Amino acid sequence: MFSLKKLFGKDETFFDLLEAGAEEARVSVELFGKYLQALSDGASTTVSNDDFIQTRRKEKRIRHLMTEQLSRTFVTPLEREDIEALSFALYRIPKQIEKIVERISIYPGKLPPGAFTRQAELMLQAASALVFMVKQLRGGTTMDKIQEANDRLQFAEGEADKVMLTLLKDLYHGPCEAKELVILQKTFEMVEQAVDRCRNAGNIVVQIVLKHS
């Protein structure tokens, strides 16, 4: 039966999918923290590359469902381009983390102790703030309601930049071979970019809220 609820954009599916995408992004960040902890402890990690692949695939399925839903709905609760942009931004988070883990897993040397610990903490802070912000969209939120979360997200991104610079400084002044320096520099930058992905998604949420305020 044809649904008038879906036709006029009152269906909750869009919010369900966006929230699921944000949660899946946070799951990938949490997995990354566990992965790093196991590496730091020198233990055999229970988190494998396949776990990150599965998380990214789940996010991809959510994005595919979003595309299908957009094609079937006449009027959406948010502007189509905003829904699409946020869905894509959320997908890029686990995709970036999967790339980082792939790079770490093939690194021939030993990673500096706690090399990514602080960045992983900031990444989780950013992802958690992002989840909160996305969930606020369902009720028609205002900037006042999401400002604190957005501030936390922006702070995490700024701190991640500082951490990366510190890591690079230590790397440049340390006893590294040229090959090791290049590999680690790229990996540090990739981890910092994962925090940027959260920041970018948060910026889209802010833009949506400002449009509808």
Neighbours of 158 (CB within 10 A): 13
Output the pLDDT for position 2.
35
Residues, the chain:
213
Domains of the chain in start order, with CATH, are 4-212 (1.20.58.220)
Euclidean distance between CA atoms 190 and 102, whole angstroms: 11
Output the pLDDT for position 6.
46
Question: What number of CA atoms fall less than 13 Å from residue 85's CA on the CB side?
Answer: 14
Output the pLDDT for position 179.
87
Residue with tokens 């021939």: 108
Neighbours of 45 (CB within 10 A): 13
Output the pLDDT for position 43.
60
For 84-107, write each residue's pLDDT tens digit: 999 999 999 999 999 999 999 888
Output the pLDDT for position 4.
35
Output the pLDDT for position 39.
80
Output the pLDDT for position 3.
41
Output the pLDDT for position 82.
95
Residues of the chain with pLDDT under 50: 1-9
